[in-house]
Amino acid sequence: MSSFYIGTKIGDSGICKYTNDFFELVLKQKNYQFLDSSSDFNHIVSLLSINDNIHLEIGLFQKKEIKILLYLLKLQYKNITITLHDPPLFKFPFYEFKNQFLNKVSKFFDLYFNSFNAINPYLNNIKYIYVLSQKGVSIVKNKYNLRNVHYLPHIIDIDKIEYSKTTNNNFIYLGFIGKNKGIEYSLQLHQNILQIHPTIKFYVVGKAMGNEVFYLNYLKTKYHKNIEYLGYLSEKELDKVFDNATFAPLFFNSYKFYYPFSGSILYALKKGKIVLSNSTNTTLELIENGKNGFIFTGNLAVDTQNLLQIFEDTNKLEKIKDEIPVFLNKKFSAAEVNKYFKN
């Protein structure tokens, strides 16, 4: 019996970066062999025996991994585990059609009439379903009435945790550019702050996909004072930009149908940045207000005043910087993940 990990490290998504860290820091030590899901489908499944341990990363856009998973489950492979990155959505829609209208009907059925009967036989045959947040675990269990769902902490390389020595009040945003990301609220907050602190800069790092390109152009036109839109940056370039900022404003709109874990917040914390966020999705599992970051209200006037007060309390800011690596070590180290991952 062998153990295989199926995923891909190729790409800019959070799942790709997670896959690399999870394999290098956890699964490699458990003698898992890595199989790149971008390889030929038939080649991948030809390597797998029915008694092998197989772990896959499953997200809304991991279509190859979902195809492999469903194929193996239909063949009654029993030792399959997955990490579900967009709980509770396993496959969306479960029944896909090339016809756009039929696809919309299928999505409507999944969201409002619950595709329990279609999905549940597959989910029940997965040995362990791991979810990266406690809230996500609860939602998946309740939606599908499952007992095989478990919490698995996100993974970070603790050797790469940084302590920020930056003492300015500059901002940095990191992530895909989209309306659901709440980036416009960050830009509005920055513009308000400029009336009192006219030299504060805002670095926006990330790219827009598809129709969101129009949204990015709108943002560039409306918000431009002391703002640098840098697009996608390599890791080396990103390090230099992060050194220029103290605060990472990462606000989110509430997602209606799924509850992903924020890799952007975790990455900003790893860089030693003080995160400013709101209490949506799974943010409260990452940010404890006033201890390792700040949770804002969503009221622009109130949050502007709060931020001005935060700027003045330099002692508290230094305490938060000290707390960040302690928090990350405690919750997201490889040693902690190993406690939860059942070999």
176: left (phi > 0), else alpha (psi -120 to 50), else beta?
beta
* 105 vs 296: which has the higher pLDDT: 296
pLDDT at residue 102 is higher than 90: no
Least Cα distance to 303 among 312, 294, 315 occurs for: 294
pLDDT in the model for residue 42: 95
Specify the DSSP element, H or E, that contains 231: strand 227-231
pLDDT in tens, 145-172: 899 999 999 999 999 999 988 889 999 9
pLDDT in tens, 257-302: 778 888 899 999 999 999 999 998 889 999 999 999 999 999 999 9
Average pLDDT, the chain: 91
pLDDT in the model for residue 285: 94
* Residue labelled with tokens 């090339």: 98
Q: pLDDT band for position 180 (50/70/90)?
A: confident
pTM: 0.90
pLDDT in tens, 48-65: 999 999 999 999 889 999
pLDDT in the model for residue 115: 58
Contact 325, 161 (CB under 8 A): yes
Give the CATH number of domain 3-152; options: 1.10.10, 3.30.310, 3.20.20, 3.40.50: 3.40.50
**Fold match between domain 3-152 and domain 159-331:** yes
The residue extents of the domains of the chain are 3-152, 159-331
In sequence order, the β-bridge partners of residue 35 are 6
297 Cβ neighbours under 8 A, 6+ residues apart: 278, 303, 306
* 140 vs 257: which has the higher pLDDT: 140
Residue 115 has φ and ψ, to the nearest 5°, of -85, 35
Whole-number Å distance between alpha carbons of 85 and 58? 6
- Is 159-331 a CATH 3.40.50.2000 domain? yes
pLDDT in tens, 325-335: 999 999 999 99
Q: pLDDT band for position 117 (50/70/90)?
A: low
pLDDT at residue 97 is higher than 90: no
Q: Is residue 203 classed as helix, strand or coil in its secondary structure? A: strand
Burial class (CB in 10 A: 0-12, 13-18, 19+), 70: middle
pLDDT at residue 182 is higher than 90: no
Amino acid found at 181: K
Whole-number Å distance between alpha carbons of 171 and 161? 19
